[in-house]
Structures are given as C-alpha cells and as structure tokens.
Amino acid sequence: MKILSLHFKNINSVEGENHIDFRQPPFADTGVFAITGPNGSGKSSILDALTLGLYGETYRFDRPAQHVMTRNTTESYAQVEFATGEDIYQANWSVQREKNEPTGRLLAPKMKLMRITGEDEILAETAETVCQRISEITGMNFRNFTRSIMLAQGDFAAFLNALDNERLDILEKIISTDVYSDYKNAVIAKTDEAQAVLDLLNEELSSLELLEPEQLAASEQDLVDFNEQLVEFKQQQTTLEQQHSQCRQIAAIEQRIAALTDKQQNLQLQLKVEQDQCDKIAAGQGALAYQEDCAQLERSKQDIEETRVTLAAYRNECRQIQDKLAVSDGSAAPETQASVKSVAEQQAAIAAEKEKVALYTLEKQSETHLLHSSEKQRNEKQAALTTVDAWLEAHVIDKNLLENFPETGKLKNLRTQIATLTATQKSAAKWLQDNRSAFDKNTATLQKSTRKIARLKLKLQIDEQKLEGLALGRDAGQINELLRDQQERIADFQELYQLSRAHARLTRRRLGLFGLRREREEQSTAQLQTGLTRLKDDLRREDNIRKALEKAIVNENLLAKMAADRQHLIEGKPCPLCGSLTHPYVQKPPKATDSKRALADQRAKVQALAAGIERVGLEIRSAQRQSEINQANQQRTAQLLSQWLTLCNRLNAVSEDLDINNSRKMKKLLKTQQSELKNITLLAKKYRLKQKNIEKIKQLIARHEALVLSSKNTAETLESQRQGRPDELEKQAQTLAQLQQDEKELTLKVTEQLAQMNEKMPAKGKEDAFFERMNLRRQDYQSYALRRKNLVSELAALDEKIAASQTILAELKQKLEIAGNLLQQEEQAGLHLALIEKQKLIAEKERVLGQQDHDEALLRETLQQKIQHSGLADVNELIGLLHLVERKPELEQQLLKLTGELESVTAELQQEQARLANQQAQLSTDASDADISFELKVLAEKTDIAGHEIQRLERLLGQQELLRQKYETLTSKQIAQQEILQECLGEVQQLDAEHGAVFRRRVQVKMADKLLAKANQTLEKISGRYYLRQMPSDQGLALEIEDTFQHNTRRLPKTLSGGESFVVSLALALALSELASNGQSVDSLFLDEGFGSLDAETLYVVISTLEALHSQGKKVGVISHVEAVQKRIKAQLQMAKKPNGMSYLKGIFDQEVVF
C-alpha cells in the first residue's frame, strides 16, 4: 500500500484546506521527508487526517467527528489517494454541521470509496462498507494499519533497554492485547479451514465412482474378449471380401461370355447374308450383258425426275405472280410497253425507279433530322440568351469591375508586411528579455553546479578515505583473494572437524557398551581355545558315564524282569538261559538302584557341557572377528590421525590443548573461521558498495563539470548574440513607418473604388476573402457578357440554316411523288411480262416431260423383251442384280472382315470360358454373391458393435485408471490433511487446557520469535552489521546484540549507543509493521518524534538508515521539531501556529542538505 496524496480541511488545530501530493517533488525524489514545526503546531494532525480518510477513525479519539473538527467551522473532510499494485483508489471522509452554522449540531459523518480509472467507479458509500472494502483491498483493518504505518520506534527503544522479565509485557503493550484473540481466532480459523479441506477431500473421494474389483476384472476380460472377436470378425470379413471379389469376377466373365455369344451369333447371321448375296452374284453373271441397257434406262429415269422438279418450280412461281396481280389495283400496263420490252429490260427499269425513290427518301430523312436539330438548338440558345440578359441586368453594377478593380491584394500585402515587422520587433524585444533571463538562469545553474561539484569532491575525498581505511591498504583483487583463501580455510577446518568426528566414532566403538562385554573382548583367542579343549574333554568323560548308566539301566531292567524266575533256579542245576550251574543271585540278590535318575542328571550335564562348548566356539569366532575389526579400526584411526596432523600443520593450528579428541575446540575454531569469513564477506560487500558510491560520485562530478562547461559556452553564445541586435531594430522601425504611410494612401484609394461598388473596406485579415469575392464577381460578369455575344451570333446562323432546310424538303417531297408513280407503273408491267414468260416455260417443260416418259417406256419394253429367256422375272430384278454385281468387291471385303471377326470372337469366347472354369474351380464357397454381400453387411454390423464396445470399455477403463490415480492422490492428501487437522485440534485442545498466564506467555514467545526473525531480516537490509539474538532465560525474554563488525561478539542492548539503539529499534518497528500488514506491502511509513536525544553523528547514522529504506521502495515521514533534523532532511512539510492558537501548513520546501 502506498499513500499518493492527502487532501484535508479543518482537522484538529490545522485550520483551512490543505493538499499534499507525495508524487510530486520534492517527495518523489527522496525516501525521507520531515513534518516539522513547533510543539502543538498540528504535525500529528496529518496522521489523523490520513486515518480519518481511510477508516473514519483516529488512534487518539474514540469519537473522531466531535473532537477532530476544528472549532467554529462548519465542515471538515479528509481525502486520501492510495495505490495497491496497479490500481489507484480514493477514500473520502466528511462531516458537516446542521444548517451550515458553526454552532449547529454535528451531522453523521459520510464516507465514500472510489476506484480511479478513466471513469471513476464508486465501490462503497457508507462508513461500514468503506472500511470493509478497504480491509479487503489492503488486507489491513484500522488497528493493523496504525501498527503498520505508524512506526513505534520509541516504544521499541524502551523494549530493548528493559529487564528480561519486563520485555514480554512491553511487547504485549506495543502489539496490544488483541494479539491473543487474534491468535485464538487464527488457530480456530486454521482448524476450521483444515476441517473444511478434509471434508472437501472426503466429499470428493465419496463422489469418485470406482468400480468394484470384480466389475473391473469383468470389464477387462470383456475388453479382451471383444478384441478377440474383433480380430476374428476382421479375418472373416477379409475371407468374405475375397469370395465376394471372386463372385464379382465370375459374374463379369459370364456377362462377357454372354456378350461374346450374342456378337458371335450376329456375326454368323451377317456372314450368312453376305454369303447369300455373293452366291447370288455368282449365279447372275449373265446379267452383265444387259448392263448398258440398264444404265441407259437409269439415266432416262433421272432426266424425267429432274424435269418434273423444274416443272413444279415453274408452276409455283406462276401462282405467286398471279397472286401479286390479284392484290394490285387492276391497272394494266400498256400493251405497247409490254410488247416492246423484254422481262430483263423491265426488271432493270423497275430497279432504276426503286433506286431513285430510295435516294429521295434518304435525302428527305437527313434533311428533316437536320431541320429538327436546328430548331431545337435555336430554342435552347434563345432560352439561354434570355437567362443571360436577365443576369446581366441584375448585375449591371459589376460592370465597373472590368475597368476599375480595387487593389485589395496590394493593401493586404502592405498590412502583412506591417504585421510581420511588428511581430519581428516584439519577438526581438522578447528575445532580448529571454536572452537576459537565460543568461541569468545559466549563471545561477553554473554557480549551483560549481557548489555541487565542491560538495561532491569533498564527499568523494571522505569516501575515498573511508574506503582506504576500510580496505587497510588492500585493493579489490586482494580482498577477493582473501575471501577465497578464507573459504578454502573454512573448508579445511570443516574437514579437520569431520576427521575428528570420524576418529571419535572409531575410538568410542572400541570401548563397548558394558563392562562384561569389555572383559570378554579382552580375553585372548588362546585362552578361549584352552577352555574349549577342557570342555570337550569333560564332555567325552561325562558322555562315557552316560553310556555306562544306560547299560546299568538295561541290566536293572533285566534283573527286574528275571526276578520272578529266580526262585526256580536250583544250585547245581543248569540255568535255562545261560546253562550256568551256580546261581549267586539266588543266595545273595543284587541291591535295587535308581540308575534312571542318575542318567537324567547325567544327560543334563552332558547337554550343559555341549551348550558351553558351542558358546565358547561362538565366542572364539566373535573374538576373531572383533580382532580383525579392531585391527582395521586401528589402521583407520592411525590414518585419520595422520591426515588430521597433516591438516593441522597446513592450517598452522597446532597447539598444546588441541588434539584429535578435542572436537569442541575444533568446532570453536571452525566457528571463529566462519565468523572471520563473514567479516571478510561483509568487508568485500562494503568495499564494493563504497566503490560503487565513489564511481557514482565521480560520474556526478563529471556530469556537473560537463554542465559547467556547457553553461559557460551557453553564456558566451548568449552574450555574443545580444551584441548586434540594436542596429537591426532601428532599420526595422524605419521600414515599418514607410509601410504604414503607403498603407494609409492605398486605403483611401480602395475606399473610393469600393464606394462605387456599394462595398465596404475589408477588415484586416479578411482581404484575401474579399479579393476572391470581387475577382469572382468580375469573372462572372465578364463570362456572361462574352456568352451573350456568342449566343446572338449563333441564333442568326441557325435561322438561316432552318430556312434552307425547309426549301430543300419541299423539293424532295415533289420528286418522291413523281418517282413513286413511275415505280408503280413499271412494277405492274413487269408482273404481266413475268406471268407470260412463266406460262411459256411450263408448256415447254410439259412437252419435254411427255417425250421423256415415252422414251423411258420404250426402253423398258425393249429391255424386257431382251431378258425374256435369261431367267430374270422383270427389269427391276435385273437392275437389283446389277447393283449387287457392282458391290461385289465390297461384299467380298466385308465377307473377309466378318470371317476374321468371327474367328476372333470365337477365340476370345473360348478364353473367357476357360477363365470362368478356372474362377469357378478357385471359388471356395457355394454361396451366391447376394448371400456373401448379406453376410458382409451382417459382419460389418457385428464389427461395428464390437468396435463400439471396445471403445466404451477402453474409455471406461481409462476413466477408472484416472479415477484410481485421483483416488490415490486424494487419499494421500486426505492422510496428510488428517495429520494437519490433528495438529490443529491438538493446538485447540492445548488452548482449552492452558490457563491464562501459560497461554499468554506462549503467544508472547511466538510473537517475539516472529518479531526477532523479521527484525533481523530488516537489519540485514538496512545495516548488515547487527543481529538480535535470544538467550536462554527463565525470567523472560533475554536479548543480545551480535555485532558482525566485531567478530560476531555479543553484547547487551544497554551497551548500544544512541544511533545503534535507534537502528535496532527501527528494525523492530519495521518488523512489527510488516507483521501487522498481513503480508501486504506498506510503502508509506511515519515515525513520530524520537530524535531529541541524538547527537550529530548518531543523527547522521539515523538519517542515512532511513534513506536506505528508499532502496526497498519505502517512503518515511519523520515527525519532529528538532532543528538538527530539519537541517538534514531535504523534503519538508512545515507546520506553523497562528496568533489565535490555530495551525496551518506553511509550505512544502526542498532545501539543501547540511552535512
């Protein structure tokens, strides 16, 4: 969040309307600005106006409107523009008194929030909704905002210097007790959120429609079955398509055979007809003797036919002539003329008369068109002449423009020259003024740059001295080399420490865990071997005793078994079993013993000895293995010790109290080296920063020196330009006076000319328009006069032309009447002559036709007599036979052709029949083509169904796989969320179980940890030297300050100087600001007082620290009445007091900084 501007009126003691824009200089150019003024001048009222505009509250009053409005005023308002990201908003708070009277009752405050875009968008218009929307936009409510933007640096200074048992209570006071309810609410909200997330996961898990394993397995099996069916269907489809193709080929061959059979039959029929005709020709060779007679008869018939056609044409022409004569007026041509002229002469006479009539008609049409055109032109010209006369009469006054045109163009040129010279004089005067102003400004810039160069050179000298003191005679390369050496040295120390740790692990491993184990490990393998031998001897001895006892038991059992038969033994008589004659047991029976008990004890003893032997054997093997391990460890220990000593010598770290077993000492050395590395790193960083600052200062010096040089050159140029201008100005004044005199004379002349035209003198600047208008009038009048002259001459010529055309038309009309009569007479005479001629021709043709019929009958009769004995029936048969004889070569050729075609067709038919037999033999089915097509259709439907089922099952199984993956993911999330929920519930239970003091202390410790972590991050950015560290303490919160410039030594906060304490407390305040802003970026901060006790050097450190915040994008407003602060901060808002006790904003200043 960034505050852009503040506009307020009548807030507290600040009377009147005030506007502060933090986007304009000098605020935009610096990271720190001061709000200065004496005590009670209303410096803190600016903060009140800020919180009023945003939240309608102030952190000092519970009822803002009653206490905030300036007394004896009628209205008060605060308007704040702020930005979050790319969006800009405007918040307004206002209050008025009733009836707009100073003593009136306060009305309810009004608030409004807008988003400033191309068209302002109102977001909220009530106090409640405005605060709610601002909290949503900024992420901060009123309390968080005041803790984020109002830095409590003074409170944290007391926090640092307090006792350990007081710090947490002070922290509670700074943060406010709301932190406990916030913490509880956060824990509960976190628990609710975790529960909601878990419920959502459970709901999402329950919504997953997973198939049962049996259903899933069945679907997978169905997919396999359908895939197999699909493969089988495709194989069947391939077989059926092959059969279908064979059937189609057989059908095509059969159609080809049928077509060839038909063609063969047609060829055989044609061949038979042609052969019959050839046989007929061969049989009628005698008819050739009558060929000439037949030819003569044919010619006679052709002549008769031609004569009949000609006769029919003559008769038709004769009827047409008679029809023409019938429609005429009945006048007949004189017989003398008909008898004198022939038909050809009569036709020539008619053509001559027609040509005359056509010529006269054409001349008449042409002359009539010419007459009409001339009359039309005369009417048009007469109308145009009337219009032109009317216009000339209406504009007769414009006739003067032809002879005496006003010279407005020349007048305009004079006025233009006068205006140009006047502007030139003004421009020259302004130029002189600008030249003088530029010279003064350039001189001021030159002086300012000179002072700036002096200050920068002084600062450069100070920074170079600091850099020299910081580097201690080293350059950047040496510092970097030192940094690399230290990094390598730390790596060696880390290796040294790791060698010590490895050595310690090996030596500890040899000591064992218990004393008994150590004693057993100390026994030698030879002693264990001797004990094992002794135990084996004891085992053999005891085993022999066991065997003896087993025999004794057998004997005892035998004695007990034979005890009943012993009474039958008689001394001197043989024993039935052994044959002995003496029986000692009869006289002295054996004692009864219990060898079974002794055998059981003996077996237990043997088992114990066997177990002991096995145990000793295991110990021997263990001792052997341990011996091998000890030897390897001793070798490794010696190797580690050798490496450790070598590394110690290389690091020059050998001392009396340092050995390989003293890992604590080595760890301390490692920390020392790491601290040294940190110091060297910090030194390198500061060296680079200082070098960068020096380079920046040098660049500024070079830029200002270039500016000084440019300013000097500019000053010389301005001075030289100013020297030669007075003479030029005097010449311009003389020229201007002459032009003004000429303009006056020409104005009088043009005025007289315009008076004759009833026109007025055009105003200045309108001469061109007036000239154009007058010139247009002159051109119009001139063109109309010329046009009237032309129209008069054209009308006279048209009248003469019309009279000549009328005369010619009368003569042509008379000639046409005479020629028409003559043409009619000649045409009647020609028709009579043509009719007589046609009648003569018809009579001649009828005579010729009769003679030709007689000759033809005579020839036919003569030929009939000749063929009576030739076997021919009549003349027509003879003529037909002769026609066949004439076609004999053609028939023979046709016969050969048909024979070849028949042979070719027969051979092709045989081939097709063979192909048909072959195809029928290859056909593997008896089904017809229709049956195969039906089977293919059914199989295609089955294939389609199987394909759809496969797609459905694949889609189903794919969806199930995705659902299974999602189920596994959600299950893992559910387990993780359950763990989070259990943690949250455990924390809630802990809150419920804890009493007030324990809960408060735990929250305070958590807030302190967060606060210190954020403060250390801020210290790293603005200082890079100090870090806050927590010490273990039973009394409360114990703090230490770690100083990285002093080898990471730690000291108490009370030992900090004023400037150091300010830097640390400022870091704490910024950390609290960041915590309170809920992660939102707060770029505008205010620091109220806290500078009164700082000396000059500490104040310099403080101001530099605040300036460093500018690099983080933050702008800090310092509220102070200390004069030293005013001198060291460039941008200032100065508040002042009025005599009546009120305050006002004196001004915004950008002053030179005093170092």
pLDDT at position 332 over 50: no
Nearest to 450 by CA among 696, 708, 702, 698: 708
Report the C-alpha gap between 932 and 241 in whole angstroms. Answer: 8
Q: How does strand 121-124 pair with strand 110-115?
A: antiparallel
Residue whose token pair is 């910024």: 1070
**Percentage with pLDDT > 70 across the chain:** 87
Q: Which residue has the higher pLDDT, 990 or 722?
A: 990
Give the pLDDT confidence score for residue 331 in this predicted structure: 46
pLDDT at position 371 over 80: yes
What average pLDDT does the segment 624-639 reach?
80
**Residue 1055, SS3?**
helix
Q: Which of 379-388, 505-514, 617-626 has the highest mean pLDDT?
A: 379-388
pLDDT at position 612 over 70: yes
Token pair in block for residue 524: 């030698």
Q: What angle do CA 933, 937, 939 make, to 5 degrees?
A: 115
In the sheet that holds 1026-1031, the strands lie side by side as 1026-1031, 1038-1043, 1049-1051
Give tens-digit pLDDT for 804-840.
Answer: 888 888 888 887 888 778 877 777 777 778 778 778 8
Which residues, including other chains, have CB under 8 Å from residue 538's CB and lie 6 or more apart?
A: 609
Residue 613, amino acid? I
Confidence of residue 995 (pLDDT cuts 50, 70, 90): low
**Percentage with pLDDT > 90 across the chain:** 3
Give the pLDDT confidence score for residue 336 in this predicted structure: 40
Q: pTM of this prediction?
A: 0.37
Report the C-alpha gap between 705 and 201 in whole angstroms. Answer: 71
Give the pLDDT confidence score for residue 155 in this predicted structure: 63
Token pair in block for residue 764: 């200045």
Give tens-digit pLDDT for 898-931.
Answer: 889 889 989 988 898 888 888 888 777 777 778 8
Q: Which of 76-85, 215-224, 298-307, 651-660 has the highest mean pLDDT?
A: 76-85
Q: Which residue has the higher pLDDT, 875 or 751?
A: 751
- The answer to whether 864 touches 351, Cβ cutoff 8 Å, is no
Give tens-digit pLDDT for 335-358.
Answer: 444 445 676 777 787 788 778 778
Report residue 571 CA to chain centroid gap. 130
Give tens-digit pLDDT for 394-418.
Answer: 887 777 777 777 767 777 777 777 7
Give the pLDDT confidence score for residue 433 in this predicted structure: 76
Q: At residue 957, what are phi and psi to the nearest 5 degrees? A: -70, -40
pLDDT at position 92 over 90: yes
Confidence of residue 515 (pLDDT cuts 50, 70, 90): very low
**Residue 494, SS3?**
helix
- The answer to whether 77 touches 9, Cβ cutoff 8 Å, is yes
Nearest to 644 by CA among 505, 488, 503: 503
pLDDT at position 490 over 90: no
pLDDT at position 152 over 70: no
Give tens-digit pLDDT for 221-270.
Answer: 888 888 988 898 888 888 888 888 888 888 898 899 999 899 889 988 98
Residue 285, amino acid? Q
Confidence of residue 719 (pLDDT cuts 50, 70, 90): confident
- Tell me how long the chain is: 1155
Q: How many CB atoms lie within 10 A of CB 179?
A: 20
What average pLDDT does the segment 279-283 reach?
74
Give the pLDDT confidence score for residue 154 in this predicted structure: 62
| CA 137, 141, 144, 147 torsion-angle sign | positive
Q: What angle do CA 647, 652, 655 make, to 5 degrees?
A: 100
Report the C-alpha gap between 250 and 932 in whole angstroms. Answer: 14
- The answer to whether 1089 touches 47, Cβ cutoff 8 Å, is no
Q: Which of 7-11, 103-107, 1011-1015 has the highest mean pLDDT?
A: 7-11
Give the pLDDT confidence score for residue 78 in this predicted structure: 93
In Å, how far are 26, 65, 421 from 741, measured between CA atoms? 57, 75, 14
What average pLDDT does the segment 455-474 reach?
79
Confidence of residue 938 (pLDDT cuts 50, 70, 90): confident
In the sheet that holds 110-115, the strands lie side by side as 121-124, 110-115, 87-96, 75-84, 2-11, 14-21, 1143-1150, 1131-1137, 32-36, 1115-1120, 1084-1088, 150-151
Nearest to 48 by CA among 31, 70, 74, 26: 70
Report the C-alpha gap between 940 and 944 in whole angstroms. Answer: 6
Q: Which residue has the higher pLDDT, 64 or 720?
A: 720
Confidence of residue 90 (pLDDT cuts 50, 70, 90): very high
- The answer to whether 89 touches 111, Cβ cutoff 8 Å, is no
Give tens-digit pLDDT for 1041-1077.
Answer: 888 888 888 888 888 777 777 778 777 777 777 766 6
Nearest to 91 by CA among 56, 139, 143, 141: 56
pLDDT at position 195 over 60: yes
**Residue 71, SS3?**
coil
Confidence of residue 328 (pLDDT cuts 50, 70, 90): low
Give the pLDDT confidence score for residue 1149 in this predicted structure: 60
Q: Which residue has the higher pLDDT, 177 or 658?
A: 658
Report the C-alpha gap between 790 and 384 in whole angstroms. Answer: 11
- The answer to whether 334 touches 833, Cβ cutoff 8 Å, is no
Task: Report the chain's mean pLDDT, rounded to a whole number.
Answer: 79
Residue whose token pair is 């341990």: 626
Go through the domains of the chain in sequence order and give each one's CATH number. Answer: 1-139+1085-1155 (3.40.50.300), 214-286+891-947 (1.10.287), 408-483+665-737 (1.10.287), 512-661 (no CATH)
What average pLDDT does the segment 156-183 reach?
68
Q: Which residue has the higher pLDDT, 547 or 626?
A: 547
Q: How many CB atoms lie within 10 A of CB 864?
A: 13
Report the C-alpha gap between 353 and 1100 in whole angstroms. Answer: 136
Tally the C-alpha atoms within 13 A of residue 1110's C-alpha that lie toward its C-beta.
14
In Å, how far are 288, 307, 874 from 295, measured between CA atoms? 11, 19, 15
Q: How does strand 1115-1120 pair with strand 32-36?
A: parallel
pLDDT at position 80 over 90: yes
- The answer to whether 613 touches 539, Cβ cutoff 8 Å, is yes
Which residues, including other chains, have CB under 8 Å from residue 908's CB and lie 6 or more apart?
A: 260
Give the pLDDT confidence score for residue 76 in this predicted structure: 92
pLDDT at position 510 over 70: no
| CA 492, 495, 500, 503 torsion-angle sign | negative
Give the pLDDT confidence score for residue 727 in this predicted structure: 65
Confidence of residue 81 (pLDDT cuts 50, 70, 90): very high
Nearest to 1084 by CA among 15, 11, 20, 17: 20
Report the C-alpha gap between 1106 and 1108 in whole angstroms. Answer: 5
Confidence of residue 77 (pLDDT cuts 50, 70, 90): very high
Give the pLDDT confidence score for residue 726 in this predicted structure: 63
Give tens-digit pLDDT for 565-606.
Answer: 777 777 777 877 777 777 777 767 776 666 777 878 888 888
